[in-house]
């Protein structure tokens, strides 16, 4: 008899439910889970091709040390020994973990606990730093905690949906399908897309604002002024639930309309139409994604958006609110357990002494980290400078995905000890590993993930673990045991980790922490097996309340009020005569991250088969490159060679190139080798959307 298992898609932050069926002959098929409240049976092209990506081709099936097969004992002893030796000689901050939004919450929890509670350093950061950390920083500034106020349903209930820096159609396809279906049913519903490119998402837009790169702070500060001037703000909400209005208004008011036009590059008619729509529509949702976050002013952009929703009181009510879209399947789960170098666990703050004390007592930990650790870009710089003596990379491929990717490769080459846990044996990153640890892949591992709307769902195993591959949480717990922390890491199953994580979320909760899933503390393994998707919070002893926040205030700053943040646009045009184009990196519809899984599916690769760069026809003509000709893109950091795709969807002077391809495909295919490590000052998120580059027809050297 075929066996069906309910699980969750491992790709984007929509977090779709999947039913995986294993036939009697072992063949696997997938379909959307009709009962999952995030997708109601829908899947996108990537999700529906999952069964094509789970073969064992390229898998690492046993631990390796220096390229030779090793036993788990030998490999784990070596990892624990190297970390312990570095800590003893150079101190806790000489070691680091670089983890991933691909990890399950249970993996993340154990990694964070080991590093922050038992090593005593906060040097654990994640590739989610590259995807949504500006939203985290913006939420914390405005709300006092990292909370997404709304739900997916709000997009369907809104009369105006603003998509800022989001190619929803390709990057969150099932949410796009839900939005498009709602718009088809309700012709009065409007969609505004704010994006320098005319993407597929813009095809359903009533208004596409082809904004200048990084014009968003000016756009939303101008909107804030317009709302105040037109008496379109909610004075009662502002007075009762916010502070900082005067300063925010003063800062926004310094921008004249002419300056907003100049900084955004938009026609006055379009700008006025957007401002009118926002001012006159009560039910507004503003979704924002990498186009907002991946910027040197990403946090200010987020707060400029939040200011407009807070000033109108359009937050936390049906069809209203700002909505940060997470890129990865478990970017949100990582945030919940403190998987960022500047967070603690359960939404507690590393800089708060009471929070540190609370976590230390709960974990019975010897030495909770006292200060934030190194964020991703700084972490790899520290590796390159020799300050990190032992590094453990889990479930990510930074030699392809980090900015200044060649420098990351050089740093790993020079690092005294690098351990990599992965499913594949040969990636651009594993070649620098002294120890390779075989991890479980999708369909083999068990745990939970949290999607963009705070919904926690189970990923369940329906395939046997291949070879000697083991779960990441198990690898971490075994290393912890070898470092002398056996009692604190005595987990026998992911359910044990989840139960502890739920208990910590409720531990001495004084009402400040909205991430409270105490109802699941002490969850039995059998109950964990059948756990249905649910949204946080779920405190013990209380029926789940409406899953929206802040409709009637209740923010997490000490005075219970939200902060309106004074923001001013910074100059971000980085082009000059030598580097006259602005490069914007992103994703395509049918590939995921560095293609280690989606690259296995011929069907997915047939969508776009090669690395490419989109150029405006006149720019292509000026540099003498024809369609499908090779174009070389160069910055002071490095260069990449890709196919030219000539299209009027691209604005003049700008280039779009996807971040997926790696050097396994072709030499110089990694676009992140071109991207410099410029970051947002608050979040540390790299600015991957606004890179000054030169472009020329490629001539072999």
The contact set with ligand SF4 (CB under 6 A) reads 9, 11-12, 14-16, 39, 43-44, 46-47, 172-174
Which C-beta is closer to ligand SF4: that of 9 or that of 564? 9
Smallest distance from ligand SF4 to CB 658, Å: 15
Q: How far is the CB of 44 from ligand SF4 (least distance, A)?
A: 3
For ligand SF4, the closer of residues 15 and 165 by Cβ is 15
Contacting residues for 425 by C-beta, under 8 A, at least 6 apart: 58, 59, 60, 64, 436
Taking CB atoms within 8 Å and a gap of at least 24, the contacts of 557-562 are 557/143, 557/144, 557/243, 558/144, 559/243, 560/241, 561/241, 561/242, 561/243, 562/142, 562/143, 562/144, 562/241, 562/242, 562/243, 562/306, 562/310
30 or 228: CB nearest ligand SF4 = 30
CB of 600 to ligand SF4, least distance (A): 15
99/341 Cα distance (integer angstroms): 11
Q: ∠ CA 689-693-696 to the nearest 5 degrees? A: 130
C-alpha span between 372 and 344 (Å, rounded) = 9
- CA dihedral defined by 98, 103, 107, 112, rounded to 10 degrees? 40
Helix ranges (H only) for 547-664 are 602-605, 617-623
What span, in angstroms and rounded, lies between the C-alpha atoms of 126 and 129? 6
**Euclidean distance between CA atoms 43 and 436, whole angstroms:** 33
Provide the minimum distance between the beta carbon of 455 and ligand SF4 in the complex, in angstroms, as a whole number.
11
Tokens 């949204």 -> residue: 535
In whole angstroms, the minimum distance from the beta carbon of 10 to ligand SF4 comes to 8
CB closer to ligand SF4 out of 168 and 409: 168
Q: How far is the CB of 327 from ligand SF4 (least distance, A)?
A: 10
Residue whose C-alpha is closest to residue 567's, from 288, 279, 224: 224
Q: How far is the CB of 225 from ligand SF4 (least distance, A)?
A: 36
Which residue, 11 or 473, has its beta carbon nearer to ligand SF4? 11
Place of tokens 């409007």: 190
Task: Compute the C-alpha angle 419/432/635, nearest 5°.
Answer: 125
Residue 46, class by beta-carbon neighbours within 10 Å (0-12 exposed, 13-18 middle, 19+ buried)?
buried
CB of 37 to ligand SF4, least distance (A): 13
C-beta closer to ligand SF4: residue 12 or 613: 12
Q: How far is the CB of 409 from ligand SF4 (least distance, A)?
A: 28
- The set of residues, in sequence order, having a beta carbon less than 8 Å from that of 627 and lying 6+ positions away, is 620, 644, 645, 646
Q: How far is the CB of 127 from ligand SF4 (least distance, A)?
A: 17
In the bound state with ligand SF4, the residue whose beta carbon lies nearer, of 331 and 651, is 331
Residue 277 CB, nearest approach to ligand SF4 (Å): 27
In which element (H, E) is residue 659 found?
none
CA distance 552 to 674: 46
What are the backbone dihedrals phi and psi of residue 629, each rounded to the nearest 5 degrees, phi first?
Answer: -75, 165
Distance between CA atoms of residues 434 and 253, nearest Å = 56
Q: Which residue's CB is nearer to ligand SF4, number 121 or number 459?
A: 459
Separation between Cα atoms, residue 399 and residue 427, nearest integer Å: 9
Residue written as tokens 């160069």?
A: 634
Pick from 82, 89, 12, 78: nearest CA to 50: 12
Cβ within 8 Å of residue 427, ≥6 positions away: 397, 399, 400, 594, 596, 662, 664
When the beta carbons of 349 and 604 are compared against ligand SF4, the nearer one is 604
Shortest CB 515 distance to ligand SF4, Å? 22
How far, in whole angstroms, is CA 230 from its chain's centroid?
36
Toward ligand SF4, which CB reaches closer, 12 or 271? 12
Which residue number, 14 or 194, has a Cβ lying nearer to ligand SF4?
A: 14
By beta-carbon proximity to ligand SF4, the closer residue of 309 and 593 is: 593
Question: Judged by CB, which is closer to ligand SF4: 378, or 590?
Answer: 590
Q: How far is the CB of 101 from ligand SF4 (least distance, A)?
A: 12
Contact criterion met (CB below 8 Å) for 133 and 294 = no
Closer of 264 and 457 to ligand SF4 (Cβ): 457
Nearer to ligand SF4, 8 or 688 (CB): 8
Q: How far apart are CA 292 and CA 288, in angstroms?
A: 6
Evaluated on CA atoms 645, 646, 649, 653, the torsion sign reads positive
Work out how close the CB of 49 gets to ligand SF4 at its nearest, in angstroms, rounded to a whole number.
Answer: 9
Residue 16 or residue 694: which is nearer to ligand SF4 going by CB?
16
Closest CA to 446 of 473, 481, 486: 473
Q: Could you tell me the smallest distance in angstroms from the CB atom of residue 154 to ligand SF4?
A: 17
Closest approach, Cβ 137 to ligand SF4, in A, equals 25
Residue at shortest CB range from ligand SF4: 47
Please name the residues in contact with 636: beta carbons below 8 A apart, sequence gap of 6 or more.
579, 676
Contact (CB, 8 A) for 452 and 153: no
The sign one gets for the Cα dihedral 80, 84, 85, 87 is positive
């Amino acid at each position: 008899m075929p066996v069906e298992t309910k699980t969750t898609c491992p790709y984007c932050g929509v977090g779709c439910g999947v039913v995986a069926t294993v036939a009697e002959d072992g063949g696997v098929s997938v379909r959307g889970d009709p009962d999952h409240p995030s997708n109601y049976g829908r899947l996108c092209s990537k999700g529906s091709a999952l069964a094509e990506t789970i073969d064992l081709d390229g898998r690492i099936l046993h631990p390796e040390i220096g390229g030779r097969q090793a036993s788990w004992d030998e490999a784990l002893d070596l990892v624990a020994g190297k970390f312990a030796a570095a800590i003893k000689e150079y101190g806790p901050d000489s070691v680091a973990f670089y983890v991933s939004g691909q990890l399950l919450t249970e993996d993340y929890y154990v990694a964070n606990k080991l590093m922050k509670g038992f090593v005593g350093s906060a040097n654990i950061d994640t590739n989610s730093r590259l995807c949504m950390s500006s939203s985290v920083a913006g939420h914390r500034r405005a709300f006092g905690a990292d909370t997404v106020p709304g739900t997916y349903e709000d997009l369907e209930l809104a009369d105006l949906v603003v998509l800022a820096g989001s190619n929803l159609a390709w990057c969150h396809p099932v949410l796009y399908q839900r939005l498009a279906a709602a718009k088809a049913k309700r012709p009065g519903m409007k969609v505004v897309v704010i994006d320098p490119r005319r993407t597929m998402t813009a095809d359903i837009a009533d208004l596409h604002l082809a904004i200048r790169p990084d014009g968003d702070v000016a756009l939303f500060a101008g909107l804030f002024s317009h709302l105040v001037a037109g008496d379109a703000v909610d004075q009662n909400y502002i007075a009762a639930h916010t502070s900082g209005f005067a300063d925010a208004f003063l800062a926004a008011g310094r921008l004249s309309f002419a300056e907003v036009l100049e900084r955004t590059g938009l026609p006055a008619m379009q700008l006025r139409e957007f401002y009118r729509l926002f001012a006159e529509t009560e039910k507004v949702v503003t979704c924002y994604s990498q186009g907002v976050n991946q910027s040197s002013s990403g946090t200010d952009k987020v707060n400029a958006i939040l200011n407009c929703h807070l000033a109108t009181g359009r937050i936390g009510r049906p069809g209203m609110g700002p909505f940060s879209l997470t890129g990865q399947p478990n970017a949100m789960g990582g945030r919940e357990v403190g998987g960022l170098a500047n967070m603690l666990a359960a939404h507690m703050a590393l800089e708060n002494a009471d929070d540190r004390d609370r976590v230390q007592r709960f974990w019975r930990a010897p030495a909770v980290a006292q200060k934030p650790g190194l964020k991703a870009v700084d972490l790899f710089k520290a590796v390159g400078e020799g300050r990190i003596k032992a590094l453990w990379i889990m479930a990510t491929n930074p030699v392809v995905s980090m900015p200044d990717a060649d420098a990351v490769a050089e740093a790993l080459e020079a690092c005294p000890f690098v351990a990599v846990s992965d499913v594949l044996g040969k990636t651009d990153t594993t070649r620098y590993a002294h120890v390779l640890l075989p991890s479980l892949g999708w369909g083999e591992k068990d745990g939970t993930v949290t999607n963009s709307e705070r919904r926690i769902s189970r990923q369940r195993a329906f395939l046997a673990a291949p070879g000697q591959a083991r779960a990441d949480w198990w690898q971490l717990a075994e290393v912890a045991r070898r470092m002398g922390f056996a009692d604190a890491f005595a987990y026998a199953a992911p359910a044990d980790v989840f139960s502890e994580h739920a208990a910590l979320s409720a531990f001495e909760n004084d009402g400040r922490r909205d991430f409270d899933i105490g109802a699941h503390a002490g969850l039995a393994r059998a109950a964990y097996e059948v756990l249905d998707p649910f949204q946080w919070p779920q405190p013990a002893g209380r029926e789940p309340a409406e899953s929206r926040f802040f409709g009637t205030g209740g923010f997490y700053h000490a005075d219970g009020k939200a902060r309106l943040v004074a923001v001013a646009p910074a100059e971000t045009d980085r082009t000059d005569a030598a580097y006259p184009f602005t490069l914007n990196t992103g994703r395509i519809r049918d590939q995921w991250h560095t293609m280690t899984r989606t690259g296995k599916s011929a069907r997915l690769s047939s969508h776009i088969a090669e690395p490419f760069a989109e150029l405006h026809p006149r720019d292509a003509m000026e540099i003498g490159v024809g369609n499908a000709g090779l174009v070389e893109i160069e910055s002071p950091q490095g260069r990449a060679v890709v196919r030219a795709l000539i299209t009027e969807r691209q604005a003049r002077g700008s280039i779009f190139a996807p971040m997926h391809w790696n050097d396994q495909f072709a030499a110089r295919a990694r676009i992140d080798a071109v991207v410099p490590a410029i970051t947002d000052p608050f979040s540390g998120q790299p600015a991957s959307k606004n890179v000054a580059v030169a472009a020329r027809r490629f001539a072999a050297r």
